[in-house]
């Protein structure tokens, strides 16, 4: 039987707490579905700096390159804010994305019905919401050169450069069109072609890919600032949104609050196919390390658990496993179980580990429609 290798990088803050619940989910599937996982744990971010003196050790990078999938918790914390820029915890995350060439960041924004009233928008606006934001992840302003701070005194200048190539735009556009074909067959490309040359190129290249390879998919264009407005006005008008690194970062966080909490939003970062045929991949929640609640056992692990559902779907090509996890999370929410970030008075407040218990209990109650479900 094939063994799947998973590199686990809990990271900082609440990362280790939510990762503990993910390990339980993976172990449950190994016991009950007859699968074999080889799980290895290492350090990233601040914890890696404390141990290795760098936010990502070369040995950890090598493990990530050879794993079938990487699962990451979160990085960062106030104790690292005064470090040299290259030693900042976030540099470890950016190195993983860049060297693994994880160019397509998939961020689904799905509103579970039980949380529709918890959104900042009215129920009729968010109920049934299911959109996918595809963010280009390895180029743009976060990686462009020149960059840095120059000058002295009152004449200091901060410099960042937005840079995109034809290849970088085309490949992420293809990812968006492929996803749309499996959904509602609609893509909205967002940029700032009215004021940025990189935006002009973005629009031109997305159009070219659409006309030459995906004419069956409906394509529209929108300026990113207008897109932000439309996301909070009528988000269900969108199916798949494709955008650059910076705008994708902002728009996906905006979309996260439509669902009720950052603690509910998973993500997958995908690259080119490996020799196995599976894509290079890293899975992580959209939320950060939340140092203010670290160690209090109140963090919401559902975004991390839903990220594993994405791993089952995109790395291991098993939609049934992914669906079982999503159904279990949905049932837990319908049963009124909540962590503090999504708690209301009529619900039952759970700790991080209690929420993990509730999901595992629902997994036991699921029956896979494909007959893949096993018990031992």
Whether residues 272 and 313 share a domain: the answer is yes
> What are the pLDDT digits (tens) for 305-327?
999 999 999 999 889 999 999 99
What does the alpha-carbon distance between residue 195 and residue 269 come to, in Å, rounded to a whole number?
A: 28
Q: Are residues 217 and 251 in the same domain?
A: yes
Check if the beta carbon of residue 88 is closer than 8 Å to that of residue 82.
no
88 in a domain, yes or no? yes
249 carries an active-site annotation: yes
Asked whether the beta carbons of 189 and 203 are under 8 A apart, the reply is yes
pLDDT at 138: 94
d(CA 70, CA 268): 10
The C-alpha torsion from 10 through 15 and 18 to 22, rounded to 10°, is -20
Higher pLDDT, 375 or 194: 194
Active-site residue, selected from the candidate residues 130, 253, 323, 354: 253
The pLDDT-based confidence of 35 (bands split at 50, 70, 90) is confident
Encoding tokens for residue 110?
Answer: 């799905």
Tokens of residue 295, six digits: 């160690």
142 is catalytic: yes
Please give the pLDDT value at position 260: 77
In a domain, 207, yes or no: yes
HSE at residue 345, side-chain half, CA atoms within 13 A, is 0
- Mean pLDDT estimate for the chain: 93
Residue from 68, 192, 239, 314 carrying the catalytic annotation: 192
Residue 262: its pLDDT value, please?
77
Read off the pLDDT of each residue in 214-233 and give the average, rounded to a whole number. 97
Question: Mean pLDDT, to the nearest integer, of 86-104?
Answer: 96
Residue 246: inside a domain, yes or no?
A: yes
Q: Give the model's pLDDT for residue 263.
A: 82
Residues 246 and 271 in one domain: no
Domain that residue 223 falls in? 147-258
Residue 192 bears catalytic tag:
yes
Active site residue: 142, 283, 314, 337, which one?
142
Mean pLDDT of the 73-93 span: 96
Of the residues 239, 244, 249, 341, which is catalytic? Answer: 249
Same domain, 68 and 7: yes
Confidence at residue 358, expressed as pLDDT on a 0 to 100 scale: 97
Q: Is residue 196 part of a domain?
A: yes
**Active-site choice (101, 130, 184, 225):** 225
In the annotation, is 283 catalytic?
no
Q: What is the pTM of this model?
A: 0.91
Of 211, 226, 258, the position where a domain reaches its end is 258
What Cα–Cα distance (Å) separates residue 375 from each residue in 136, 220, 332?
40, 47, 21
CATH number for 360: 3.40.718.10
Alpha carbon of residue 181 to chain centroid: 20
Asked which of 258, 288, 320 is the last residue of a domain, the reply is: 258
Residue 124 belongs to some domain of the structure: no
Confidence at 216, pLDDT banded by 50, 70, 90: very high
Is 119 or 148 the better-scoring residue by pLDDT? Answer: 148
Question: Distance between CA atoms of 210 and 315, rounded to whole angstroms?
Answer: 26
The confidence score (pLDDT) of residue 1 equals 59
Note if 216 is an active site residue. no
CATH number at residue 182: 3.40.50.2300
- Banded pLDDT at 184 (limits 50, 70, 90): very high
Give the per-residue pLDDT at 2: 74
Same domain, 221 and 305: no
Tokens of 240: 């798949």
């Amino acid at each position: 039987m094939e063994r799947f290798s998973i590199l686990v990088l809990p990271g900082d803050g609440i990362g280790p707490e939510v990762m503990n619940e993910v390990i339980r989910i993976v172990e449950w599937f190994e016991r009950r579905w007859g699968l074999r996982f080889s799980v290895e744990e290492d350090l990233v971010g601040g914890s890696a700096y404390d141990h290795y003196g760098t936010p990502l050790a070369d040995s950890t990078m090598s493990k990530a390159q050879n794993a079938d999938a990487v699962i990451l918790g979160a990085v960062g914390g106030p104790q690292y804010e005064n470090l040299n820029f290259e030693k900042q915890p976030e540099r470890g995350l950016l190195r993983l994305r860049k060297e693994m060439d994880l160019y397509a960041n998939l961020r689904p924004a799905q509103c579970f019905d039980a949380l529709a009233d918890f959104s900042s928008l009215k129920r009729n606006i968010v109920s049934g919401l299911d959109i996918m934001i595809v963010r280009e992840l390895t180029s743009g302003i976060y990686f462009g050169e020149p960059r840095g701070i120059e000058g002295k005194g009152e004449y200091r200048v901060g410099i960042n450069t937005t840079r995109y190539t034809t290849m970088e735009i085309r490949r992420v556009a293809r990812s968006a069109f492929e996803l749309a074909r499996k959904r509602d067959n609609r893509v909205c490309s967002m940029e700032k072609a009215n004021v940025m040359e990189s935006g002009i190129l973005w629009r031109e290249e997305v159009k070219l890919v659409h006309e030459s390879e995906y004419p069956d998919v409906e394509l529209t264009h929108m300026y990113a600032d207008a897109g932000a407005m439309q996301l909070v006005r009528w988000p269900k008008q969108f199916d798949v949104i494709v955008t650059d690194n910076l705008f994708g970062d902002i728009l996906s966080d905006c979309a996260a609050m439509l669902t009720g909490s950052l603690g509910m939003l998973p993500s997958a970062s995908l690259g080119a196919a490996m020799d196995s045929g599976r894509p290079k991949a890293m899975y992580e929640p959209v939320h950060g390390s939340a140092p203010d609640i670290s160690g209090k056992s109140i963090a919401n692990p559902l975004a991390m658990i839903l990220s594993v559902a994405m791993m089952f779907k995109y790395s291991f090509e098993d939609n049934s496993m992914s669906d079982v996890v999503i159904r279990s999370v949905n049932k837990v929410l319908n049963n009124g179980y909540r962590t503090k970030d999504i708690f209301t008075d009529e619900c039952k407040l759970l700790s991080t580990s209690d929420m993990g218990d509730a999901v595992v209990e629902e997994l036991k109650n699921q029956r896979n429609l494909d007959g893949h479900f096993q018990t031992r």
